Amino acid sequence: MNDRTANPRAWWFVLPVLVLVAFNALIPLMTVVNYSVQETFGDNVFFWEGLKWFEQVLNSDRFHESFLRQLAFTGMILAIEVPLGIAVALSMPRKGPWVSVCLVLMALPLLIPWNVVGAMWNIFALPDIGLLGRMINGMGIDYNFTQQPVAAWLTTVLMDVWHWTSLVVLLAYAGLCSIPDAYYQAAKIDGASAWAVFRYIQLPKMKRVLTIAILLRFMDSFMIYTEPFVLTGGGPGNTTTFLSIDLVKIALGQFDLGPAAAMSLIYFLVVLLVCWIFYTLTMRNESQ
């Protein structure tokens, strides 16, 4: 039999996606690649530089510092938001009129734009006029996030926890709701403790959604820009200058387009690499 699997007209169906992906991803990415290997002084004059910018970025202390800061921040975010999100999801009601109330309350922070969140927390935490700032100072604790690195970090982390724990809660809650009641009954009949129910039923059953939650929170927090930019502007000094804030400073502040482009690509590859490792590990776990 003649396999007529090739039909050139099929390309027309793929074309819209190709165009979309080209304009959306490929062309901007190639522009960045273009900048990363050349020097430009404006007027569209370019000089070939090879891998010079990449070497410069990878060897610079500044990049190392913001990279470590970024890792520390993301680590803290995951360590706080994931367990906290699970805990909140576990304590939410499973049925009744309070379900929708809880869900709406949980969804609220997610609906607020990033820069608004930053501005809100900025005002909220200001030591002289902010509710939080004044309260802490009123308790006799010297707190000023615009001057103290530790306070700036605490405020940034707290802001992110406030903004994004809900996402973990909602995902974990969805996972919990998909567990048939019979599992709980079976556990009850077995005389399982609350911890055993969590460890052997709820956690394994939530594994998939938690994987998604961790991945999303990793990517978002690793690429965080707007909120710390509005809250602290990367300060005091450079103490809350995370990767993307640093990147913007180099690209738009100093107008060093070459190093900025090289840094963007390294940044992009790191995110891609971590996601890939994460994905591979979970898929391997899944198939076991």
The answer to whether 30 contacts another protein (rule: CB under 8 A) is no
The structure tokens 């909220």 sit at 124
- Number of CB atoms found within 10 A of residue 288's CB: 5
Of 46 and 183, nearer to another protein (C-beta) is: 183
Q: Of the ranges 3-11, 98-106, 200-208, 254-262, which one interacts with another protein (CB under 8 A)? A: 200-208
For another protein (CB under 8 A), the number of binding residues is 14
Helices 257-287 and 203-222, interaxial angle, to 10°? 170
- 3-state secondary structure at position 3: coil
In the complex, the smallest distance separating the C-beta of residue 210 from another protein, rounded to whole angstroms, is 13
- Residue 140 region by backbone torsions, left for phi larger than 0, else alpha for psi between -120 and 50, else beta: left
The answer to whether 204 contacts another protein (rule: CB under 8 A) is yes
The answer to whether 185 contacts another protein (rule: CB under 8 A) is yes
Kindly write out the interface string for residues 124-163 of this chain, putting x where it contacts another protein by CB under 8 A and - elsewhere. Answer: ----------------------------------------
Q: Which of 83, 88, 117 is nearest to 217 (CA)?
A: 83
Of 183 and 278, nearer to another protein (C-beta) is: 183
Tokens of 172: 């974990």
The answer to whether 208 contacts another protein (rule: CB under 8 A) is no
Among 139, 180, 195, 284, binds another protein (CB under 8 A): 180
Among 4, 191, 195, 284, binds another protein (CB under 8 A): 191
Of 91 and 288, nearer to another protein (C-beta) is: 288
Of 58 and 201, nearer to another protein (C-beta) is: 201
Contacts (Cβ under 8 Å, ≥6 apart) of 128:
134
Would you say 223 and 167 are in contact if contact means Cβ atoms under 8 Å apart?
Answer: no
- Number of CB atoms found within 10 A of residue 166's CB: 22
Contacts (Cβ under 8 Å, ≥6 apart) of 136:
127, 143
User: What's the DSSP call for residue 179?
Assistant: S
Q: Of the ranges 96-104, 140-148, 185-193, 250-258, which one interacts with another protein (CB under 8 A)? A: 185-193
Q: Interface with another protein by CB under 8 A: which residues?
A: 180, 182-183, 185-186, 188-191, 200-201, 204-205, 288
